[in-house]
Structure 1
Amino acid sequence: MSSILTNNSAMVALQTLKTINNDLSKTQDMISTGKAIGSAKDNAAVWSIATKMSSDANMFNTISDELGVGKATVDVALAGIDQLTGTLDEIEALAVSGKSEGADFTKINEQIEALKEKMDSVVTNSQFNGINLLNDTVDGTSASLNIASSVVRATPGGDSTVDTIEVSATNLSGAGVNNVTFTPLDGTSTTADTVIGEIQAMRTAVLTAGADLGAKSAQIGDQMKFVSAMGDALKAGISVMTDANMEEASAKLQALQVQQQLATQSLSIANQAPQNILSLFR
């Protein structure tokens, strides 16, 4: 039965065209943004996971920077350790020469004092951005430096926390390396041996500090590699969940454009149906 009040064919064709236009709009958005999941309305579950992972990835980027600063701080302290060991070698050589009765002890003592002042300066100035790991405190108050090292999420969807690497101050001043005075040489083997003993005690403290700082530097370096790998893995995971398959989207776009043209023609034909009723009255 034909009706001039209701055009069922046109309604079906119109609904089909609306559906195609809606799919076409989504596909065009997907191509323009490169995202298959761009908001919660696209897929709430996937969007929520991807958003949290993206937050973690950003935190890993920040942590990578913090680790870089932390490693630089430790490496500056290690450079100071190298200077101290070299200077101690020089002082020890002078102390050994002080065993000779014909040595100029006044000059030797002046040289030793100058080198000791150099050591004090090294301990005081081996700092990075105000952080000195060779003193008794790293910043005047704290006995250790905490460096952000990783992001931890205890449960899926749970809150994230930040782990740290703790680097303790080596306290070379407390270990008898900084701001101390050597026994003056006076031409006797006893005083020379005393000075050599003082140097050896200092060297033990310096080498212990160097070993501790070297281990921390290696740990931070390894953590930097891990954090970099984690950041890349997170970005890859987010990409898999949210990025559009551009080859598929391109093929879908062309198919929808054809469907849109056909649906438009179908609607046009359906809209002409009431006109055919007029022929019944001619």
Structure 2
Amino acid sequence: MSEMIHLSSAVRQNLLSLQSTADLMSKTQNRLATGLKVNSALDNPNSFFTASSLNNRASDLSGLLDDMGQNVQTLKAADEGIQSITKLVEAAKGKANQALQSSSTADRRKFASEYNDLLGQIEDLAKDAGYSGKNLLGGGTANDLSVVFNEDGTSKLSVSAVNYTDTSSALGLSDLTVGTAGTVATTETALMAGKEGTTDKLEIKVGGVLKGTLDYGSDASASDIVAGINAISGITATTDGTNVSITSEDGQISIDDTVTTSSDLGTIASTDFTAGSFDTDTSIDTSIKSLTAALSTLRSQASTFGTNMTVVENRQNFTTKLVNTLEEGAGKLILADSNKEGANLLALQTRQQLSSTSLSFASQADQNVLRLFG
């Protein structure tokens, strides 16, 4: 049986005070080291679990913030794409207006070819307007955007993609038929072989309509005839001294002499003429109307994407502030006040010193008994 050591009341009281102070110092030092006044559920169950819930929600929302930021970039890429496409459509409209102001079919066909090039650039630009695997100008449900705003997914924004990779579908802008000139190919020999006397003439028709009549003349040469044909408005004739090419931008062209004999030139007609979409004012006006409608569509879609971007950015800012509010609320429940805890530690150290001194005094009182036996 072990023997018990009996302490005087004064010593025991001072010892208990020292133990209590040491325990408080340990807790205070832990708070200063961790920065938390509630480190576990044992410290304060209500504060600990409430703070954990707030921090968990803040963490979930922080994850959504990253997605919102990426979705904003996707919307920006689409908006920048639309702005660039709008400029290209305006350029195409400029080409149509240039064609309308020109009376040259050849120039109009050049403008039609440049118009088609611009439509190709629009489609290529739309294909390149994606961001991180999403292209709101590429069409298809796979490119639709869904922006989630809260942790359970009940608050979200859906953005539907449009398809500008095919200008004919969403914008109503189809490639134009550039057109092909009607061309007659013959030789100087064949051209002059049809001459029958001084009264024979050469007729040039375009689209079945007589455009000009040339008198062969008694001393007209092949080069004279070619020059005469070339002087007719809307017709181009060239020769290299052997072969003759006669071209009309306005329709199928044919040549024939007026005197019919066994050595008659015979009708020579082109078969390669194709009318162009910009050949007539009416067709150009139709294209300009389509371009105006396309610009209206683009501006409306740009407004829609702009509204969507504003919504996402607002929710992004709100979520950032909400995360800060949640973390601040959790901190008020579990974070330690370093200034207060530092002051507490200093006070406890002072108390510990005083308790040690008091214990020493109490021990000295007991030691005085020994002096009786000295």
Bin of the TM-score, shorter chain as denominator length = 0.7 to 0.9
**Whole-angstrom CA distance in 1 between matches of 2:340 and 2:114:** 78
Cα distance, 1:42 vs. partner?
A: 1.9
Measured on the aligned residues, the alpha-carbon RMSD in Å equals 2.6
Asked if 1 retains the 8 angstrom alpha-carbon contact of 2:109 and 2:279, the reply is: no
Paired position in structure 2 for 1:268? 360
- More displaced stretch, 239-248 vs 218-227: 239-248
Cα distance, 1:28 vs. partner?
A: 1.3
**Whole-angstrom CA distance in 2 between matches of 1:265 and 1:87:** 91
Asked if 2 retains the 8 angstrom alpha-carbon contact of 1:53 and 1:238, the reply is: yes
Asked if 2 retains the 8 angstrom alpha-carbon contact of 1:136 and 1:143, the reply is: yes
5+ residue gaps in structure 2? 178-275
1:58-110 superposed Cα distances (whole Å, 9 cap, x missing partner): 23332222211111100100011011111111111111222232251221111
Asked if 2 retains the 8 angstrom alpha-carbon contact of 1:135 and 1:169, the reply is: yes
Count, aligned residues = 269
**Whole-angstrom CA distance in 2 between matches of 1:180 and 1:94:** 15
Cα distance, 1:205 vs. partner?
A: 2.6
Cα distance, 1:258 vs. partner?
A: 1.3
Asked if 1 retains the 8 angstrom alpha-carbon contact of 2:75 and 2:136, the reply is: yes
Cα gap change, 1:272/1:215 in structure 2, threshold over 3 Å: closer, same or farther? same
Cα distance, 1:189 vs. partner?
A: 1.4
Paired position in structure 1 for 2:46? 45
Asked if 2 retains the 8 angstrom alpha-carbon contact of 1:175 and 1:205, the reply is: no
Paired position in structure 2 for 1:136? 139
Would you say 1:171 and 2:179 are equivalent positions?
A: no
**Whole-angstrom CA distance in 2 between matches of 1:73 and 1:60:** 20
Asked if 2 retains the 8 angstrom alpha-carbon contact of 1:175 and 1:202, the reply is: no
Cα distance, 1:126 vs. partner?
A: 0.6
Paired position in structure 2 for 1:157? none
Cα gap change, 1:239/1:178 in structure 2, threshold over 3 Å: closer, same or farther? farther
- More displaced stretch, 175-184 vs 236-245: 175-184
Code of the residue aligned with 1:120 in structure 2: it is E
**Whole-angstrom CA distance in 2 between matches of 1:162 and 1:274:** 75
Asked if 2 retains the 8 angstrom alpha-carbon contact of 1:95 and 1:185, the reply is: no
Code of the residue aligned with 1:142 in structure 2: it is A
Matches within 5 A, 1:1-282: 5-99=6-100, 100-102=102-104, 104-137=107-140, 141-142=141-142, 144-151=144-151, 163-172=155-164, 173=166, 175-177=169-171, 180-182=174-176, 184-272=276-364, 274-278=366-370
Code of the residue aligned with 1:25 in structure 2: it is S
- TM-score where L is the length of structure 2: 0.65
Code of the residue aligned with 1:115 in structure 2: it is L
Bigger-Rg structure (1/2): 2
Asked if 2 retains the 8 angstrom alpha-carbon contact of 1:20 and 1:260, the reply is: yes
Asked if 2 retains the 8 angstrom alpha-carbon contact of 1:120 and 1:179, the reply is: no
**Whole-angstrom CA distance in 1 between matches of 2:172 and 2:25:** 75
Asked if 1 retains the 8 angstrom alpha-carbon contact of 2:129 and 2:137, the reply is: yes
1:184-239 superposed Cα distances (whole Å, 9 cap, x missing partner): 53421121022112223322332232121111011112112212222222232233
For CA contacts below 8 A with separation 6 or more, give which structure has more relative contact order.
1
**Whole-angstrom CA distance in 2 between matches of 1:181 and 1:135:** 19
Code of the residue aligned with 2:290 in structure 1: it is E
**Whole-angstrom CA distance in 1 between matches of 2:344 and 2:157:** 50
Q: Secondary structure at the match of 2:283?
A: helix
Code of the residue aligned with 1:61 in structure 2: it is S
Code of the residue aligned with 2:129 in structure 1: it is S
**Whole-angstrom CA distance in 2 between matches of 1:182 and 1:123:** 20
Cα gap change, 1:5/1:82 in structure 2, threshold over 3 Å: closer, same or farther? closer
Cα gap change, 1:73/1:161 in structure 2, threshold over 3 Å: closer, same or farther? closer
Asked if 2 retains the 8 angstrom alpha-carbon contact of 1:37 and 1:47, the reply is: yes
Paired position in structure 2 for 1:156? none
Cα distance, 1:115 vs. partner?
A: 0.2
Cα distance, 1:133 vs. partner?
A: 0.4
Identity of aligned residues (%): 25
Q: Secondary structure at the match of 2:162?
A: coil
- More displaced stretch, 120-129 vs 178-187: 178-187
5+ residue gaps in structure 1? 152-159
**Whole-angstrom CA distance in 2 between matches of 1:8 and 1:161:** 66
Higher helix share: 1
Asked if 1 retains the 8 angstrom alpha-carbon contact of 2:14 and 2:358, the reply is: yes
1:149-176 superposed Cα distances (whole Å, 9 cap, x missing partner): 234xxxxxxxx65733222112344843
**Whole-angstrom CA distance in 2 between matches of 1:161 and 1:18:** 53
